[in-house]
Chains A and B, each alone.
Chain A
């Protein structure tokens, strides 16, 4: 039996500290949907997704009621579309994005990820067509998310892809200029991308994955923040131990809900992603956890160390709570989706250079950052290259999700609304990187990639 304190702790976590299951994501293989005729292929895609995911939303809602814990998002990830569409006799992959969008609407999920290509060593014909189709696909669909992997520790950095993605991000912003460049919020450029990530916008269903799978992402910055506040004057050992225990409890809920969802949907359970994912809601902020550790503002000196401690403790606690951990599994530091991060930028405490340093010790990377609309494709490419280098050398995932908001300058705000939040436009280094980015070719894999 349980003690009153234990029961109240769980109830308080949900009611007062924003504990929720951030996402149940169904991964679906579309490899059997390839066909030379675009219409046939798209019909197969639509039929397969709507068949396998038809109960995803009702089951998610049912579990949320029974366990008394909110399940914020129900989502779908699919095989990278470049692999599926390559067989089709067409140069423009917009039709595939539209098929995904229709299927997502039909089953009631708010995002579907997998308009993706893996080009860390080079492009195939399908990869090029997919990448060229991204701006239009993101402008003309509502729920489709795109991602491109441009580097791995094993392959090095495909600098042709890096520069191309700089151009694609600019084009995507231009085509969605009426919405402050919203399309860019649905586009992630990765290094060392995980193939079982349940979080958008970077989710896709990797080629080593089964036919269909359920992955879950937990949340809970508010719970961790409250726990950190309770050990205000304690030393670092106690602080770390407190976060570990809290992460364990949070992750157990993800494991429970993920397993129950998989059983009810009749598909295998994949992984729990341990990431601490903030939302724009007050008190659901990763930045505020760092501030609760004793930093006046997130971004000041000591922030990287605080984030490293947080990220490590979350992993240690989470790893013990789940039998299969995967995805990104680390703290997220998206600027627009985290009220504390926004405040830190506005107050001048947090700069893009500090964010880059922070990405060395946590998952993801430069996430949901608005930059001036006039930023060149070369500069965006150079930012991607820097992040990719951090990922490749440190054998970790890094990513870039930048919004060069058309017509906006430093100090302006970009409003996306909902979970995507709002972002202050941040300043970048004014000097050019064009000659570097335009060299072309591939930065070789680092020496420590040779492990065999």
Chain B
């Protein structure tokens, strides 16, 4: 039997916070597609005058690990003046789902 607490599944949550501008989605999508990471869901909104995008993706086919993805996203975020991060889905699943 698999341990229910070990990270099972390869889904990650990518969050983008900052000032809205042209090319945000393209930049993030490029990084993901270059690493064979499949986008499952995207939603975006303006929260407290801040552009907020949440993207759920599957890393199952990817050749890189989460730490590497985070580095690439941080780098892109730095260039665009945005805060971009990726976290394992379990961090949210544990907090919000029983």
In the bound complex, residues from chain A placing their C-beta under 8 Å from that of B94 are 252-253, 255-256
In the bound complex, residues from chain A placing their C-beta under 8 Å from that of B25 are none
Q: What is the CA–CA distance of A256 and B5 in the complex, to the nearest angstrom?
A: 6
Nearest A residue to B87, CB-CB:
A68
Nearest B residue to A1, CB-CB:
B41
Is residue A431 within 8 Å, beta carbon to beta carbon, of the partner chain? no
Contact residue range for chain B? Answer: 20 to 34
Q: Known contacts being A2-B13, A8-B47, A256-B90, is A66 close to B5, with CB within 8 Å? A: no
**In the complex, what's the smallest C-beta–C-beta distance from A66 to chain B, in angstroms?**
5
Nearest B residue to A19, CB-CB:
B95
Is residue B22 within 8 Å, beta carbon to beta carbon, of the partner chain? no
- Are A68 and B56 in contact (CB-based, < 8 A)? no
- Are B88 and A7 in contact (CB-based, < 8 A)? no
Q: Pick the contact of A67: B47, B54, B91 (CB < 8 A).
A: B91
Q: What is the CA–CA distance of A419 and B86 in the complex, to the nearest angstrom?
A: 28
**In the complex, what's the smallest C-beta–C-beta distance from B75 to chain A, in angstroms?**
15
**In the complex, what's the smallest C-beta–C-beta distance from B38 to chain A, in angstroms?**
15
Q: Known contacts being A260-B5, A260-B7, is A252 close to B95, with CB within 8 Å? A: yes
Q: Known contacts being A65-B66, A263-B3, is A8 close to B52, with CB within 8 Å? A: yes
Q: What is the CA–CA distance of A264 and B3 in the complex, to the nearest angstrom?
A: 11
Q: Provide the B2-30 mask, 1 if CB < 8 A to any CB of A, else 0.
A: 01011100000101010000000000000
Q: Pick the contact of B92: A6, A66, A255 (CB < 8 A).
A: A6
Q: Provide the B43-68 mask, 1 if CB < 8 A to any CB of A, else 0.
A: 10101000010101000000000110
- Are B56 and A66 in contact (CB-based, < 8 A)? no
Q: Provide the A1-18 mask, 1 if CB < 8 A to any CB of B, else 0.
A: 110101111110000000
Q: What is the CA–CA distance of A69 and B88 in the complex, to the nearest angstrom?
A: 10
**In the complex, what's the smallest C-beta–C-beta distance from B52 to chain A, in angstroms?**
7
Q: Pick the contact of A69: B47, B91, B96 (CB < 8 A).
A: B91
Is residue A170 within 8 Å, beta carbon to beta carbon, of the partner chain? no
- Are A67 and B43 in contact (CB-based, < 8 A)? no
Most buried by B among A9, A68, A269: A68
Nearest B residue to A262, CB-CB:
B5
Which positions in B face A, CB cutoff 8 Å? Answer: 3, 5-7, 13, 15, 17, 41, 43, 45, 47, 52, 54, 56, 66-67, 70, 85-88, 90-96
Which positions in A face B, CB cutoff 8 Å? Answer: 1-2, 4, 6-11, 62, 65-69, 249, 252-253, 255-256, 259-260, 263-264, 269
Q: List 22 A-B contacts (CB under 8 A).
A: A1-B41, A2-B13, A2-B93, A4-B45, A6-B96, A7-B92, A9-B96, A10-B91, A11-B15, A11-B85, A65-B70, A67-B88, A68-B85, A69-B91, A249-B95, A253-B95, A256-B91, A256-B94, A259-B6, A260-B6, A263-B6, A264-B6
